[in-house]
Every structure is written in structure tokens, then in C-alpha cells.
Structure 1
């Protein structure tokens, strides 16, 4: 039996091909994918700009939700169970082999697209808040509040009694209404001036996925004792040079601020890096997020559901910034995936 998978074959090159269904490892399973997420990570991978990405050609896809259809001889899972995983790559396929230890059970009554929106994006949002150490009564600035992470970060923070300021293009504001964020149009408004006007003493945390062009301004918007959390470099996607160049620039900025902090010159302000990693902590966070969604207290925002064979379009759509929330790939119900010939 064969299924469909999406392959990045080279810089900017996306192919759809048939692939044999894999065999499970002894302590592993094979999952039939119900939904796979599209994140900025895959946009970067397509350009060869993601940190330590696999060599071309490879199947991308950071996260998925699906049904177990085969188990290894020593697996603790059963055929028919519904699971989520964050393999970092390989999820853009109809059938994916995964390790037992990487799986989280997904309740049957949660929509697959909403569930997959929690895997990479939701876990990142929850851990960003934990990294910052913000609490009820604090204020935060979320750059890119209309993205997959930002939508969930704003809701989680607001639910914890935290005031949220968020940047988003004006065309996204209607979709973001009701999420608990005070919106700033970064295209037509001066973000720094707006933040200072609304929070004259500064904010207690800034969550910045933009990278070196944005970080110095984010730092200046912190209140005494505040924390800047850097978790990406999306603003440098089109800049020439190797993938690691913007991250070296981020590390230099962070080192400079940390030295000043140690010398007592930052008013207690600090800067931290964050990078999501699969592991026991992330699986526990995902389990809790699934419970919160099931209770109706958290609403993943699905921007678009596209067939797996339209992955290239999904990448273009993500990069365009036209949509709000998470773009999701859904393999066809008949299992063919309609691959390009």
C-alpha cells in the first residue's frame, strides 16, 4: 500500500510523490495523518534557513495528529488510538512512523485541525509564558499576535489575568476580536509609541519572533524587572547569507544585555532565548492544553484547511500574511492524496 508525501527537494522546490507505508519500529507506531500543521519553520526550511534542518531532499512537517494504524512488537499503544506528535520533520505524509515515547493521546471529540494547532504553536505559547514568569496584573507585548503562536499566547495570557498588547495587520483585527488583546497595527502605527502611550512604565514581557531588526526596540519597551523573550528571526528571511547569521546577531545582543544585567545596569531587565523541544515537559503541556480546549476555555484559530497535495500553496499562503491563525494540511479522505503527476 502506498500513500502521499510532500518533499522539499531543494531550495524553493516542493514535490508531491507516492511513498510506501512505513513499518513501525519495535517500540513505535505508524500513524495515518488526520492533520499536519504549517508553520514558519517550514517556510524557512524551503529557503534553507531553518536551524539545523535536514539535508535536501526531505519530508518537512513539524507536527501532526492522526490515528494509530500499526504498532511495533513492543509498543505500548493500540491500533485505533488517536495521537499527536512533534517529530520536527516528516509530518507532511499520509502515513508517518513515530516512536512510542513521542506520542500524546488526543481525545476523540477534538477536531484534528484544532488539536494540531496546539502541538507546536500551543506548547510554544505555554512555555513562552512560563519562561517569562509573568503573572496576573502584569502586561505583555506579543509581536505577531495574529500568527499561530500569537493567537494562543494572547488567550492563555488573558486567561491568567495578564494584559496583552499585540501587533497585527489591520485586516486581521476582526478575526482577533474577542481574544483578549489590545491590537496595534504595525503597518500603519508606530508600535513603540503606541506601547508607551498605553503602558507608560513599560511592559513586563515582550515576546519577539522577529529577530535582530526588532529586538533593540523590544528591549527598550520593558518595564524595570521585565523580560524580553526571543524565539525566532522571521524578519530576516529574505536577508542573504547562511541560516545561522541572524542567530549569531541575536546571541550577541543577548550577551550584551546579560553582561549589563550582571553589572547592575539594566534595572533588573533581562533577555532570554527560547526554542521549543519535544520531550516530557512538552508532552505534559500538550496534554493540559488539550484538556483546556475540550473545556471550551481555549480556541485555536484555524486560518485554512488545505489538502496535503496543496502544501506548496499552503507555504505561499503562510508567507503572504493574508490569513490569521494556523494553516493546516489535511490528507484526502480516500487516501490517495491526489499527488501531482
Structure 2
């Protein structure tokens, strides 16, 4: 399709609107005509998007850098290019890509910058791919670019049943790393089946239980909780170990500014990292370096590695549930229950 004869009537789209601070029942489903793609843009016909911690935080107005209400949530998406704007190669039409966008994924079609597209081979299931876009890139980069894990090491993964935790654990095991996974007891059997050593995250003997498995401490901790969990996680590191914080789940339901909680977290990580004990601590931000050539290169390289592992069967994305976009309220009710194992995926 030539963008010069693009007709918006071909793209009457359906999208989910987050109108303000909301509960799942307050989400709106609306239709409109999509505007023409501008220079450097394409239109993706969305085949899969997902629910993540980010959307739950946005519904509470507690996600740093989120746009003003109202807007269309959806941190990432997988879809097929159906139209291109000026200065975009028209041969992209008909090809499948993923895109990491922070918002806009909860829609039947979405405008996306062509330079940000991540190529997907035709023989890969879009639902499976959706589980490795933001979650997979986050897991890969934390393991290999931040913690720089090595075969024979031991790591602790908090939220091992989550979208990031399930992928991170699989990647670590594939790399020859022992994984201790913290989750609710309801998920322990599934964790064991995947080769993960399960422990209960809110057990009063949590640290003692970790030390029974790793007496000298662990080589890395991946902490999605924040708050008081940070000091505990740092204390479980062996000399030379690394703590990576990547979310502040504890702050979701607190009646105070998430920005303040985030700044306190960063300050704590800075102080811990300054201690002369050979341990390191830091916060992982998937958007760090955005706008630089190295950022896009890393994104494409890392996503390509994940696709190869998916194609070879090494990665087996855990899909907690799959909902049509029209059932977004039910999907978010499930997400809010905090009982799932893996990723909630939305399809047309």
C-alpha cells in the first residue's frame, strides 16, 4: 500500500482508554479513525499486546514518565505492518514486528516509529513473542548486561512467577546458573518443574532459607519489590555480588507519591553501592540511553537473541491467560489479583 494514497477509512480502530485514576471496570473501549502515518512512521495491525506492572501503576497514576490522562496504555506490542509513512521502506508492509512503546499497545492498530521496530520471523507465534518483548529484554539485559552472570553462579529472583521473573529464570538456567525463586507457595510446584528452587517471599525466615541454599550468599539478586526489601536483598549478596532493582511494587498501594518512593530507592541504592564491601547495587531502567545509537543497537541485538532462543525451544514463555482486547476489564481484574504465573496477553 502506497502511503500517498492511504485512506484512513481503511483503519477504523478499537482502543482502550485509561481516562484517569481507575479500577479495571472504569477502562473505556472506543473506536476512531487512525490518522495517516507521518514521516518515519508505520501502522501496525496489533496481533498481541500484554499486561505488565507498568499498566497497573499507570492506573494509579504512579508510573514515572507516564503521559497525562486520558491515553491508551500498552507497554509493547506485536503486529504486522499494514501501512507506511513517507521516508519508510514500503517493503515493510506485510512483515511482522514487535515494538516497545510504553503506551499505545492496547489497540487494534497503532502508529509506531519505523526505526524502533524489532523484526520477527514469520514462523513465530505472536502471543509467545509478546511475552518476551518488554519482559524478555528486561530479563536479558539485567542478566547479561548488568549482572554479567556466569555459569556456576547462584542468583535470587524475587517475583519469580511474574512476566519478567519467569523469563529471567529460564535464561539463567540456560546459562548454567542456579536459580532461587521467591514466590507465593501456590506457585512452588510450577517453579520446581522448571528447575527453580522455590522459597516463600514473605516467610519470616526468608534470609535464613536463602542462606541454607547459598551459605556464602548469592551472586546476584533481582528485586522487583523495593522499599525495605532492598536492604534485605543486598545483605544476601556474597562479596562481589550485584543487586539489581527494577521495580517498586511495594509502592503501588501506598498513599504517597511514587516519585518520592522512587527517589528514596535511588538514594538507598547509591549508598549501598558506595559501601566498601565489594558488592554492587543499582536500578535497571529499560529506557536508559534512549535516543543514542547504542540503545537501539542493544535492543535489536538482545531481542534477536531472545527470538533465537524462542525458536529453538529454550525459551518457553509462560502465558498466564489470554484475553480479547474487548475483555480488558477482566484481564486487569486478573492482573490485580496477583495470583498469576507468567504473562497476561491481549489479542484482537
TM-score band by shorter chain is over 0.9
CA RMSD across the alignment: 1.4
- Counterpart residue number, 1:94: 108
Gaps of 5+ in 2: 1-8, 291-295
- Counterpart residue number, 1:228: 243
**1:82-161 matches, cutoff 5 A:** 82-130=96-144, 131-161=146-176
Contact kept in structure 2, 1:22 and 1:30, CA below 8 Å: no
Contact kept in structure 2, 1:167 and 1:191, CA below 8 Å: no
Q: 1:323 aligns with which of 315, 336, 340?
A: 340
Question: 1:73-97: per-residue Cα shift (whole Å, max 9, x none)?
Answer: 3212521101100011111100001
How far apart are 1:188 and its partner, in Å?
Answer: 4.8
Question: TM-score, normalization: structure 1?
Answer: 0.92
How far apart are 1:259 and its partner, in Å?
Answer: 2.7
Decide which moves more: 272-281 or 297-306.
Answer: 272-281
Q: Matches of 1:145 and 1:255 in 2, distance apart?
A: 25
Aligned residues: 326
Q: Matches of 2:188 and 2:48 in 1, distance apart?
A: 26
Gaps of 5+ in 1: 332-341
Change (3 A) 1:177 1:196: closer
Q: Matches of 2:285 and 2:83 in 1, distance apart?
A: 32
Decide which moves more: 102-111 or 196-205.
Answer: 102-111
**Equivalent position SS for 1:167:** strand
Detail structure 1 runs of 4+ shifted over 6 Å in the superposition. none
Q: Matches of 1:52 and 1:5 in 2, distance apart?
A: 21
Question: 1:96-144: per-residue Cα shift (whole Å, max 9, x none)?
Answer: 0111111011112211111011110000000010201220111100000
Q: 1:258 aligns with which of 273, 278, 282?
A: 273
- Counterpart residue number, 1:306: 323
Q: Matches of 2:114 and 2:103 in 1, distance apart?
A: 16
Q: 1:271 aligns with which of 281, 288, 292?
A: 281
- Counterpart residue number, 1:9: 19
- Counterpart residue number, 1:56: 69
- Counterpart residue number, 2:189: 174
- Counterpart residue number, 2:226: 211
Contact kept in structure 1, 2:251 and 2:258, CA below 8 Å: no
How far apart are 1:185 and its partner, in Å?
Answer: 2.1
**Equivalent position SS for 1:291:** helix
How far apart are 1:273 and its partner, in Å?
Answer: 1.0
Q: Matches of 1:243 and 1:236 in 2, distance apart?
A: 6
Question: TM-score, normalization: structure 2?
Answer: 0.91
Decide which moves more: 86-95 or 66-75.
Answer: 66-75
How far apart are 1:282 and its partner, in Å?
Answer: 1.5
- Counterpart residue number, 2:260: 245
Contact kept in structure 2, 1:25 and 1:99, CA below 8 Å: no
Q: Matches of 1:329 and 1:230 in 2, distance apart?
A: 27
How far apart are 1:214 and its partner, in Å?
Answer: 0.6
Contact kept in structure 1, 2:44 and 2:82, CA below 8 Å: yes
Q: Matches of 1:22 and 1:184 in 2, distance apart?
A: 50
1:295 has 2:308 as partner: no
Q: Matches of 1:148 and 1:120 in 2, distance apart?
A: 9
Contact kept in structure 1, 2:172 and 2:178, CA below 8 Å: yes
Decide which moves more: 92-101 or 313-322.
Answer: 313-322
- Counterpart residue number, 1:197: 212
Decide which moves more: 220-229 or 234-243.
Answer: 234-243
Q: Matches of 2:269 and 2:82 in 1, distance apart?
A: 46
Q: Matches of 1:197 and 1:304 in 2, distance apart?
A: 34
Q: Matches of 1:11 and 1:97 in 2, distance apart?
A: 25
